[in-house]
Structure 1
Amino acid sequence: MLYPSQEFVNNFVDKFLYLKPILKEHIEDYDEILPHVFLGEIAKWCVANYKNSSQENVQQIFEYIEQTFKNGGEEIQELISVSFLENLSNQNEDERKILKYLGPELLSEFKKINKI
């Protein structure tokens, strides 16, 4: 039986098939799905790719995470807050331009985390 956070990761990768190699490498490294670690890896992938041809993909990922955060339970909201948004907090000023993709719910949570 999968935990909601593991189910989220599976659904997430099923929706964005181009992320499957990241999940495959993740499982090879950890022998299982560690949702917090994986979502941190996705945040880093987004930062690395938002300026290039993957910009539309990054925007779609942010939209999906926004909806999941808005409609998800407490465990999923915590996963997104701690593992995705906090990883976005650790970027330099240029990389923080990615924050323009945050929807209202994620932006509010990001500001709360960072006491903005």
Structure 2
Amino acid sequence: MSAICVAFSAGAAFKFRELESTLAEHLKDNNGEILPHLLMADYCRCVESAARTEWVRHFLYYLEENFSDENNELSELISVSFLEHLSPEDSSTNFLIGCLGPRMLKEYRRIFGQEII
């Protein structure tokens, strides 16, 4: 995994203090190592449990700012380990899906084969 993905996923917990305990638990569970894809999936679960809070909207905006239509490692990390965990079959994720920015929403729809409006 690239250093940029490690830095981005760990750095999110410093930008969003609500994720600090998730990062700490991740580090404990992985012998101090950051596994970006696992950590991003952990963040997704954290976001799902706090969906309607202000920090979640800011976090989703942060992801959107760092997501690119171009295929790069950071966008792949966000796509595979965050967006793919927001199942359209789970009604509890509808609010979060509605908060996605345009690039991530486009990718979300591509992942789940939804028609682009």
Relative to the length of structure 1, the TM-score reads 0.87
Regions of 4+ moved over 2 Å: 70-73, 94-97
Percent of residue pairs bearing the same amino acid type: 32
Uncovered stretches (5+) of structure 2, i.e. residues with no partner: none
Q: Which moved more, 1:37-46 or 1:90-99?
A: 90-99
Within a 5 Å distance, the mapping from 1:24-43 to structure 2 comes to 24-31=24-31, 32-43=33-44
Determine if contact 2:19/2:46 at 8 Å carries over to the other structure.
Answer: no
**Per-residue Cα deviation, 1:73-109 (whole angstroms, up to 9, x for no partner):** 7000100000000011266123322211100000000
**Structure 2 CA distance for aligned equivalents of residues 45 and 28 of structure 1:** 17
Q: Which residue is equivalent to 1:46?
A: 47
Residue 111 and residue 71 in structure 1: after superposition, are their counterparts in 2 closer, same or farther (change >3 A)?
Answer: closer
Q: Aligned partner of 1:68: which letter? A: N
**Per-residue Cα deviation, 1:30-59 (whole angstroms, up to 9, x for no partner):** 1111100110011111111113xxx10110
Q: Aligned partner of 1:106: which letter? A: M
Residue 114 and residue 8 in structure 1: after superposition, are their counterparts in 2 closer, same or farther (change >3 A)?
Answer: same
Relative to the length of structure 2, the TM-score reads 0.87
**Structure 1 CA distance for aligned equivalents of residues 44 and 67 of structure 2:** 15
Structure (1 or 2) with the greater helix fraction = 1
**Structure 1 CA distance for aligned equivalents of residues 5 and 74 of structure 2:** 6
